[in-house]
Structures are given as C-alpha cells and as structure tokens.
Structure 1
Amino acid sequence: MENQVLKVDISIDIEHALEGARGILKLVRPAWKEESINHKVFDNGITNKMFGFHENGRKSDTVLVRVNGNKTEIFLDRKAEVESFELLHHHKCAPLLYCVFNNGLAYQFIKGTTLTPQTVRKDVVCRLVGQEMARMHKIPLPTDHKPEAQTFKLIRKFMGIAFDDSDGPVDTELEARLRAEVRELELLLVDLNSPLVFCHNDLLVHNIIYNEEEGNLSFIDYEYAGYNYQAADIGNHFCEFAGIDNADFSLYPDRGLQLRWLRGYLAAYRGLVEDDVSDEDVEKLYREVNKFALAAHLFWGIWSLVQHKFSQIDFDYKGYSQLRMNEYYKYKEKNLAL
C-alpha cells in the first residue's frame, strides 16, 4: 500500500523553528506523549533548519522535520521537490515522506552517519556511492515529454534573482562577467552530449548517510533533485569532497581515485563487472566529469549570491561564493583542455 502523505496549510517561523516542528510532530505522531519525546538539532545544513524527534528508547522511529530557509521558495521549486521525493521513494532511493507543510517536510530517519571529507575518500565508500548514484541514474525518463537539464536552467534562474535591482543597486560588472562565463560554458558542455538522467544534484558529504554496520548508504535531501546531465551529478559530487565548513578544494579527488570511482560507477550503471568496463569509456567519462565540475563551481558560486541576499542562516555566503568562483577560474583552462 502506498504511503499517504499528510499535507497541511501550516507555515513555521524559522526564528521559532523548533516550536513549530514540535507542532508538525504532533500531527505525524499523535500518540506520542510529550514528556517522552527527545529531540536533536542537526546543524550540518547551510540552507534549512532540521530537527530529529524520537520517543524514549525508540530511536529507530525517529522523525525528521525540516523547516525551509528564508525565501528559498524564490529559487527552489518546492512542489517539484515533493514529486522527486515520492518518485525516489517509489524506486527505493528515498525514505518515507510523512508530511508536507507550507515551508517544510517531515520524513523518516535513515540510520547511519553522514560522510566527512575523510570517509568519502575510502574505497568501500566510493564504491557504494557510485553504485547508489548509478541506481538513481537508472530511474526511467518520462515518456510524455523530454525534461530540461537542471544545471544551466537553474544557473540562469539564480542569476536573475541575484542581480535583480528592484531591491537596490547591483554589481553590473560582475553580472556581465558571470553571464558571459555561463554562456561560454553552456555551449561547450552541452556539446559533450552527456546522458540525461535523474540526478541528486547536491551530493555533498552531509547528504550521504553511511551505515557501516549494514554495509550500505543512502542519499538524503532532494531539494535540487531532477533530470540533469550524468556528468554534472558526478562532477558536483567530486567538488563536494572539499566539505562545507572550511571547505578545502585541495581534497578534490586525484586522477587515480576518480578513475577507480568512475569504473565502479559505470559497472553499476551498465550492469557489468568492473573488468568489462573499457578504459576508453572510463577516460571519456573522466573528461566529461571534470568539465562539468566547472559548472558546479559556477552553480554554487551564483547560488551563494542569492543566499547572501536572503538567507537568515549564520553562514558566510559571500565568502563561499568567492571561494567557488576562485576554483572555477583556477581550473577552467586546464579542465576544458582535457
């Protein structure tokens, strides 16, 4: 029987997010006694606020409540996020969704620990991430229309918001420079003909839950999930080896690690053993992925300008934008020459 998702007309003030999340919990778990409820604040995110709730001695039934960041609906399609969540659950790539409210979700907790810049590099973890990504990428495309790839569609949307002068003067020189970079890169990358697949699009280390005991892992947080270029999802993930807090892009995987990762991914994606994946195919994907890594830097660099404008989360978005743009310019010539 399909899970029935509760949909309620409730908005939570992000300044009183915990109190509001408790109200959502009462709707999702009405039988729970208030005095027996424990909560945990998850502080890994830089966009939203997240809380976990469980009854005494019943951590296995933890309910997560996420309150969306301020004005994120301006640049994120929340209806599409719910559709992606339900699609991924249908294909056993996501947990149960319990409740949708005006500015957030409540859903099932996945047992395990989030990856770190250290654990994401481990061979066993690399293999599992590649296998799980391949499983997601094999979700069938819709038959009634051809979806539009996300990367440059969203970059253009972010640009329009970041440089909207209705809120005051904008840096027109920076805008012109970024628009020129986006146009140039889009022409080059679209020409690679990377396959269109269903992607996570935001596989930073905190969005991967590893259950070492059971030997599996899961992806969480589907805000940016949707159809996109295969190489874009992988290139973005490789950039995220840097971590978020004090991001260190010198941790970007070297050629050897990438080739091993890509061989495992292609084997899972094609249903082969690794020895049957040709060196030529691995090299081709390697070139595509490193070119699309440039798009990831542009994407999150421009996204950070939007967050700097609207977010109430305590994070240096302007500094992070500059960091991503520095990486873009640092590797642009080298990666495009591959």
Structure 2
Amino acid sequence: IGLTKDLFLHLVPLFLWSLDAILADLASQQPGSKGAKKGTQPASSKSQLAIFVALAMVLRRKPDALVSVLPTLRETSKYQGQDKLPVIAWMIAQASQGDLAVGLYAWSQNLLPVVSAKSSNPQSRDIILQLVEKILSGPKARTILVNGAVRKGERLIPPPALEILLRVTFPASSARVKATERFEAVYPTLKEVALAGATGSKAMNQVAQQMLTFAFKAAGEKTAELSKEAAGISIWCFTQNAECYKQWDKVYEDNLEASVVVLKRLSEEWKELSVKLAPVDPLRETLKKFRQKNEKALESGVDGARQSLFKDADKYCKILLGKLSRGHGCLKGMAFAVVALAVGAVVMSPNMESLDWDKLSVFV
C-alpha cells in the first residue's frame, strides 16, 4: 500500500523525533556525559523501549517511509558519527524486514559510503557488513533483489556504490583487512544486482556509460585482481551500449594501460565474448581508429614506456581485427555454401518444375 500524502507528512517527523529521542538517550548514557542536550528530555527506560518498538513496527509496516528520510540522515551532521551508526543500521534492518529492496537501497545510499570514508574503522565496517549479510541471507533474497534491481526509478546498487564495492573488495595486498574477505563473499550478488536490467534500454545505456567511467580507470591500475575485475565490467559496458566505444575512443591515449588490459582480455576471451558483443561493427570501427592512433604515436617517437604500451595495444588490435575478419569471412562462406547447395539441388533435380520454390527461398 503506497503512502498517502497525509501519512507521509506525519511519518517523517515521527521518524526523526523517535531517532532524536533514541540518540539523546544513548548520548546521556555515555561515560563523561553531562546528560542530554538542552531542550531534549531523556526518555525513561520504559518509554525508550516503547519508542524502539513503535519505530520498529512503523519501519516494518511502512518501509517506504524510511526512503524519505535517507537524505536527511545522510546530510545532517547530528546523524553522523560512529555512535549513531548502530541506530541507523538498526532502522534499515527493520525496514528490510518489510521490504528487502528498501533495505539494500538504504544500505547502499547511507551506509556503504562510510566504508570508503576516512573515518572508517573495523567497528563501522563490521556493522555495515553485518547488515548487508543479513539482507542477503534469505533463501530468496538474491532472486528478489536481482529482479527488483530498480525500484521506483532508483537502482538499489547505483554505479557509485558499485565503485565503492569494487575498491573495498579488490584492494592492494598491503591494504587488505579482516573485512576484505567478507566483502568478497557478498560482492558477487551485489554486483549482479548492480548490473541487472533490460539490455538496450535507455536506463541501462546510461548505467553502462556511468560505470565505464570508473571501471576503465580501475582497469589500468597496478592491483591485478582489481584490474581484472574492472576490465570485465568495462567489457560488460560495451555489451550494453555501443556508445561506450566512443567513450573509450575519447580516453584511449590517456588511459593506455587500461586500454591494453581490456584489449588483451577481449583477444584472449574472444570466443566467449564475441556472442555478447554482437553486433561487432562498432568494435571493428573502434579498433581501426585505435590502430591509426597507434601508428601515429609510434611514428612520432613517443618515450620508451608509452612506446611499449602502444606496441602492445596495436598487437591486440591486430589480433582482434583478424578474429573479426575471420568471423565475417566464415559468415560469408556459410551463406555462399547454402546458396551453392540450393543451386545444385535445382540443377540435379530430375523434375525442375516440381520444385517447391517457396521452400527453397526460405531455406536460402
């Protein structure tokens, strides 16, 4: 049941009042605290429990209402900080029991960014991971979230959230922490939700272009696992939107390391990827442009490191163009063979007038 305007106007203040009361009470219990802030009356233990119960009931029955206060929780300083995080996570957990999609959306919008913040610490990462692990733990959670990856026009895992996940799941070996393995466990499902959608739709075209921006950059970095995963996402972008090739063309020379990684991946996994990348004409034209840029750069005498990159890029461009040419030739050869067989059948037929020309034309 959707929220009426009147109900919405009442629930939002109720949420914030309840949250303020809970936070004020928690603050008054902190060691060294001088009590609640002026103007805020600390709640008794019974009334505090009543607030928790009432808030939990509302969040479970009307999880949509939480979405309305997410910007306030995200942008207002009094709701920021390690001491507020458990309560915010608890609220999202309650809403997720009413609607998993709301829970994951709230998690990606308000909690996941904390992981990449300078203030991130083991305690905050643990709280954030516990919540998403809980959301994903249900037997039908994956199906529900992938099928409902877009909720009221908003993606549950938008491109900026996937970028954060990419970074925290595939850090440099020296930057790995205890939480890294837990992110590795939830990443595949969250990535699947992030990439879910109707191929070719306007929305997915935009998503692909947004994702290519950060994925392509990450593909050129030194961390092998990060580079590999980012290259895979970059190639996925090409399967969704041919405009991404133009985007690649614009940044090709400024991101040679990434270009080499992606070109190598395409050439090594061409048999599997070629079907997903069809039609391949945009790729063929892009590779031809790359070859022109490579030749121009090599003729101009670029420095040693970049010269090596241009040579590698050109090598993979040649390999891919060769594969594309052979694939095109095979299709032409197959068509010629079918026509030849059809003509042969006509010539060899003892009774040409009895041939079913309609069937023959369909066969060809």
Interval containing the TM-score (normalised by the shorter chain): under 0.3
Q: TM-score, normalised by structure 2?
A: 0.26
Bigger proportion of residues as strand: 1
Bigger proportion of residues as helix: 2
Q: TM-score, normalised by structure 1?
A: 0.28
Q: Which has the larger radius of gyration?
A: 2
Greater relative contact order (CA < 8 Å, ≥ 6 in sequence): 1
